[in-house]
Amino acid sequence: MHMADALVAPAVAATMYTCSAVAAGYSVKKVKLVDDSKRIPVMGVMGAFVFATQMINFTIPGTGSSGHLCGGMLLSAILGPYAGFLTMIGVLLIQCLLFADGGILALGCNIWNMAFYGCFIGAMLIWRPMMRKGACRWKIIAASVIGCIVTLQLGAFSVCLETTASGVTQLPLTVFVSVMQPIHLAIGAVEGLITAAVLCFIYEARPELLWGINDGVDKKPGLSYKKTVIILVTAAAVIGGGLSLAASEYPDGLEWSIQKITGEDEIEASDGIYEAAASVQEKTALLPDYSVKTTDSQAGTSLSGIVGGAAVIALCSLFCVMFRLFRRKHE
């Protein structure tokens, strides 16, 4: 669902940057109040995991389209909405600058569409109420599926509104909505099942890592905290460095919708501000489209998965230092 710059007018871009910045500032303020020596350090690990899973596009049968995880619901169910939102910003920022995945002008829109709804609407209005009286597998599965479907529907609808507000006449609102919503319904259902599988693993391994569950979790942990983190880091490396090679070659839901309506692979814009943004992104994208510039080898995809995951961990660690997210417990 990463929007390209051509889909966003400068005024819309500025508006969505402002909205996302306000949400980020509030999240920083809230996370600084958290004193959690276990959950907050997992920011980088889970960020790398979401980055890796986003590299694997899964085919939506019978459509010629594919989808990938957004990850907001997954992150917020573990980190909480505020740390989850900041982690998603880290993932999207690395994707935009290092891999040219999503435009620079459109970054504010992408943060709002892919992070805000999953981390705030999904976590606070769906996940937390369902976990208030305790967690169990069926509740986790139900919350994950419902949350992912609802938040992807909101994100897809926001894309339609943003393009309409930007004056993209090639994508009439009613037609765009009629194509975007159904395909993202299917993508949301698949993301929900994958999210549920990961959260059920964490529930069995370290239930106290799940956000919104009663503090006094009676369930006995199945694994040590260290082993759980190692498994997640290993999974991120294997997915990003290996399984990403098996990603679907079909266009994702947004690209597929644009093709279906316009008959073109993408919409282009050639005004000065778009050219300037493209020039900046060309300089920052060391691995554009998750590949090495000088070769078409699949090794570039594996390299991108490893480098991207490491970059997300580094950036989230920097966030923790800059905003004093790590608060050491003093005995």
DSSP letters spanning 127-183: IHHHHTT---HHHHHHHHHHHHHHHHHHHHHHHHHHHHHTT-TTS-HHHHHHHHHHH
- What's the whole-model pTM score? 0.93
**Tokens 């993209």 — which residue?**
168
Closest by CA to 44, choosing from 331, 297, 236, is 236
Distance between CA atoms of residues 24 and 284, nearest Å = 23
Given CA atoms 304, 306, 309, 311 in this order, what sign does their dihedral have? negative
In this prediction, residue 245 carries a pLDDT of 86
CATH number of 5-211+220-322: 1.10.1760.20
CB 277 within 8 A of CB 105: yes
Q: Give per-residue pLDDT as tens, 227-277.
A: 998 999 999 999 998 988 888 999 999 999 999 999 988 888 878 899 999
Tell me what pLDDT residue 323 has.
Answer: 63
Positive or negative: CA dihedral 98, 102, 107, 110: negative
Q: So what's the pLDDT on residue 329? A: 45
CB-based contacts of 81: which residues, under 8 Å, 6+ apart? 27, 119, 120, 123, 124, 211
At residue 218, the pLDDT reads 66
Per-residue confidence (pLDDT) for residue 330, from 0 to 100: 38
CA atoms of 243 and 179, how far apart (whole Å): 29
Q: Which residues of the chain have a pLDDT value below 70?
A: 35-40, 214-219, 297, 323-331
Alpha-carbon radius of gyration of the chain: 19
pLDDT in tens, 273-323: 999 999 999 999 999 999 887 777 678 888 899 999 999 999 988 877 776
β-sheet bridge partners, residue 252: 66
The one-letter amino acid code at 228 reads T
Per-residue model confidence (pLDDT) at position 322: 72
